[in-house]
Structure 1
Amino acid sequence: MNVMSVLNQIMGQAQGGQSQSGGGMDVKGLMGGLGNQLSGSKGGSSGVDVKSLLGGGALGLMLGSKRGRKMGGTALKYGALAGVGALAYKAYQNYQNNAQGVPQQAPTQQGRPLEQLQGADQERRGLEILQAMIMAARADGHIDANERALLTQEIEKLGPDDELHAWIQQQFDGPLDAQALARNSDSPQASREIYVVSAVMINDQNPMERAWLDQLAAALKLDPRLAKELEQQVQALEA
């Protein structure tokens, strides 16, 4: 399946454009683009219409009506989608440094960040990330039949192969299952990345979405202190 091709395009929609080709992700370019679009909007003085910022597309539709409000600097957190692996690993390092009694584990036991993976390993991780994004988008139950049809059209524009297209439809049809998502995680690093993209996608002021994130943390067996650090890294992009 051409997972990374599709995932990179969805991530690129966070700045209303396309991410660079291939497996890499232009984190600096993404954050710079967002910063330019948000210039002068911090502090809520002139909020940002996220639907316009995202320019529609699959990501805009996944965020849907729950994001169709003025969000100010909150939109900056979508930069986490482009650097999800690095951000998740940084959060883990902070967690290890700050939490007493946390056992130190060798990097080889943690798994590598998404941005460092290649080939089949990156495709597998990309599938985990995409599954997490879709489940988080469904967490408040806002995707109705019409939105589903529009979203299908937008995903088709990204050029998924037949196998990936069928898999994506299964994700929209299947139950929300945090345990199943956790079982697909291939490493502790993957679990952290799954949590990060979920935290980016949800509105933690929505009780249903907050409940989903809490269920996911439990299913992934994340220490509450680590889950908090992962969320703080996402929220730091809003500052």
Structure 2
Amino acid sequence: MNAQRILSQLMQQAGSGQRQKAGGSGIDVKSLLGGGALGLLVGSKRGRSLGGKAIKYGALAGLGALAWKAWQAHQEQKSAPAEATTATDQPLEQLSGERQETRSLSILRAMIAAARADGHIDAVERAALGEQIDALGADDELHAWVEREMSAPLDAEAIARDADSPQAARELYLASVAIIDDQNPMEKAWLDQLAQALSLDSEMRQALEREVHAV
């Protein structure tokens, strides 16, 4: 499947907003989130009041690097020695080939679950999201996978099983934080479930959340 390409394009949508912010012109929420796949995921069609909070979706543009930065800050706070890393325990942007594709698919799954956590994505929105994913270049296999994920029961443990390393776990959580509405109790409860399933302690969670909201 071409999950990595789809995720890259979603991240580019988010990154375009960050470039606007950096240029001093602010973020155009309607152009960034209004009609695309990212907009459907974050729920702009459900009437959320995005406002300045939409800035946080720019975290998706630097997902792996931000999760890595949060881990480093967490380690410094604990005054812990550096942990050994493996080939898979690397930021998304440093992976390649099958490892990058697998990680991208896991992140897309986490994003879809986070978008569904309030239970408000209906059949019309699922169809629209499918169309937007297709427009980004999804193949038939990925399209069918998205359809299944939109209908599958929410299962934080299943998402956590996708994490092949501590870095992957951090990225899955960070992507979820960027998608949810932190004023929605159901979505906050989903984050709690996910963090527990990913074995993230409260300090690591806070570090990841700080990175998302600082973008």
Q: Is TM-score (shorter-chain normalized) higher than 0.5?
A: yes
Query: Would the alpha carbon gap of residues 37 and 84 (structure 1) be closer, same or farther in structure 2, given more than 3 Å must change?
Result: same
2:51 equivalent in structure 1: 71
- Tell me which amino acid in the other structure corresponds to 1:32: R
* SS of residue paired to 1:190: helix
Shift of 1:99: 2.0
- Larger RCO: Structure 1 or Structure 2 (Cα < 8 Å, ≥ 6 residues apart)? 2
The 5-angstrom pairing of residues 138-177 of structure 1 reads 138-177=116-155
Letter in 2 for 1:203: D
Identity %: 55
Q: What is the CA RMSD across the aligned residues, in angstroms?
A: 2.0
Cα pair 1:10 1:59 within 8 Å, conserved:
yes
Asked whether the equivalents of residues 42 and 115 of structure 2 are also in contact (C-alpha less than 8 Å), the reply is: yes
Which 5+ residue runs of structure 1 have no aligned equivalent? 17-29, 40-47
Q: Residue type of the partner of 1:58?
A: A
* Cα distance in 2 for residues equivalent to 1:103 and 1:37: 40
**Cα distance change on mapping 1:68 and 1:130 into 2, 3 Å:** same
Q: 1:188 aligns with which of 143, 166, 173?
A: 166
1:84-233 to structure 2, matched below 5 A, reads 84-99=63-78, 102=80, 104-108=82-86, 111-233=89-211
Map residues 21-100 of structure 1 onto 2, 5 A cutoff. Answer: 31-36=18-23, 38-39=25-26, 50-64=29-43, 65=45, 68-72=48-52, 74-99=53-78
Paired letter, 1:148? R
Q: Is the 8 A contact 1:51 1:68 kept in 2?
A: no
Per the alignment, do residues 61 and 195 of structure 1 end up closer, same or farther by CA in structure 2, a change over 3 Å counting? same
State the distance in 1 between where 2:33 and 2:185 align.
Answer: 24
Distance 1:187 1:226 in 2: 15
TM-score (norm 1): 0.83
Q: Who is 2:4 aligned against? A: 4
Aligned pair count?
Answer: 214
